Structure 1
Amino acid sequence: MQKIDLATYKRRGMFAAFKDRDIPFFSTSSHVDITNLKKFTDLHGCGFFLSISFLITKSVNLVPELRQRVIDGDVFEFSRVDPGYTVLLEDETFSFCDSRYFDSFDEYRRYSEAKINEVKECPDQSSGEKHHMFFITNVPWFSFTSMVHPYDKQYAYIPVLTIGKYFYEGNRLLAPIGIQVNHALVDGIHVGKFYQQLAEMCDRPERWLSVGSPQA
């Protein structure tokens, strides 16, 4: 990770304006067209959640502001950030699951499947040092037009993504994707870039969900 010099940081005014607010985050959602993605995952049997979480991970990492964190008052930018999931257990509770960023979808899928199986056997509800991560939660039981997550100062600058139940609108299959970010580091334009990247990847899944998936 690289430390950002606040003296030359272009968002230093916005950072100062929002970092000490009682509620410094903002949360929004958007319906992402997953028609081509769902057809691809059904055809190739590669799993919808792992596929879309891989594309979300790629999209997050392509937006530098979503890789920035405040640690002990200083702003840092990570060269990459890793995803963490919520995993539903048989007793209808859930476990946390820390995964990793990979360029290749095949590597990502193998690693993530192993980690998910691991926490199903030995659930993890612990907290810890996770500045290098962002979080994905999956709620396939309902769609939504907004989603707000509990705020914790320990994870104050970590983006939280939510995947909801997909639905048809005409011939298009849409999925609600929510994102919660800290306004001290992230503005609406950065969230817009994330959604643009994700939409483009979902439209052309064959480019990304293959051996040796290319970097953008």
Structure 2
Amino acid sequence: MPKKHRIDLADYGRRGLLEAFRDRQMPCFSTSCNLDITPIRRFIKANGYSFFITMSYVLSRAVNQVPEFRHRLIAGELYAFERVDPGYTVLLEDGTFSFCDSMHFDDFERYRKHAANRIASVKIRPDHATGDKHHMFFISNVPWFSFTAFTHPYERKYGSIPILTIGKYFEQDNVTWMPLAVQVHHGVVDGSHVGLLYDHIGQLVRYPDSLHAGV
């Protein structure tokens, strides 16, 4: 599990905002946008890569570049993780899905191979465990439809874990668009931080050759 350290609220610039949102019945907010994935889709096709695994790497790399997306509320204390790992939902043959706890690697090839092995593993032995997940963020994949908004069930214990959702991509005026939704806890993440995340993701999908460069 990645290392973490407790953040001293006396030195935390967002303390007032954390306290304002921490105890609200629903402290999360969700945003969504359409990403132009035309360049990275060409890159994926040319190299024979998995679309989902490649996009999950993009999301994982971007999430780890924004410090606030690595902050977690645990038993009333605020912690910062040095790295957060992705967890996926994986469709099973019976139409249900399994959780899949994976790991972030800056190196794309290492990430890609590890993710493929983890996905294959849970297809054989589905995982529905809900143990300690604070070191993770979640990626949900709904390839059956596009969307303009998306929200997830809220669980207080894990409410500060970001959830990213990708939907069915579509063509419009020779551009391939993919919907992306981001759900975060407002006690630890603001709109400006979500904006930074979108910026990082946008750079990676526009210039996919940079995936091989790591961070």
1:69 equivalent among 68, 72, 82:
72
Q: Note the C-alpha offset of 1:21.
A: 0.3
Corresponding residue number in structure 2 for 1:94: 97
- Whether the aligned pair in 1 keeps the contact of 2:70 and 2:82 (CA below 8 Å) is yes
Deviations 1:17-51 (A, max 9, x none): 00000000001111111000000000100111111
Corresponding residue number in structure 2 for 1:170: 173
Deviations 1:143-182 (A, max 9, x none): 0000000001121110000000001121211100001000
Counterparts in 2 of 1:104-183, with a 5 A limit? 104-183=107-186
Give the counterpart letter for 1:151 in structure 2: Y
Corresponding residue number in structure 1 for 2:38: 35
Q: Note the C-alpha offset of 1:214.
A: 2.3
Distance in 2, Cα, partners of 1:19 & 1:71: 11
Distance in 2, Cα, partners of 1:84 & 1:214: 20
Q: Output the TM-score relative to the length of structure 1.
A: 0.97
Q: Output the TM-score relative to the length of structure 2.
A: 0.97
2:53 equivalent among 34, 50, 54:
50
**Percent identity of paired positions between Structure 1 and Structure 2:** 50
Distance in 1, Cα, partners of 2:60 & 2:134: 15
Gaps of 5+ in 2: none
Corresponding residue number in structure 2 for 1:214: 214
Corresponding residue number in structure 2 for 1:3: 6
3-state DSSP of counterpart to 1:130: coil
Give the counterpart letter for 1:95 in structure 2: S
Give the counterpart letter for 2:149 in structure 1: S
Q: Number of residue pairs matched? A: 212
Give the counterpart letter for 1:149 in structure 2: H
- Backbone CA RMSD of aligned residues: 0.7
Corresponding residue number in structure 2 for 1:59: 62
4+ residue segments displaced more than 3 Å = none
Give the counterpart letter for 2:37 in structure 1: I
- Whether the aligned pair in 1 keeps the contact of 2:72 and 2:161 (CA below 8 Å) is yes
3-state DSSP of counterpart to 1:58: helix
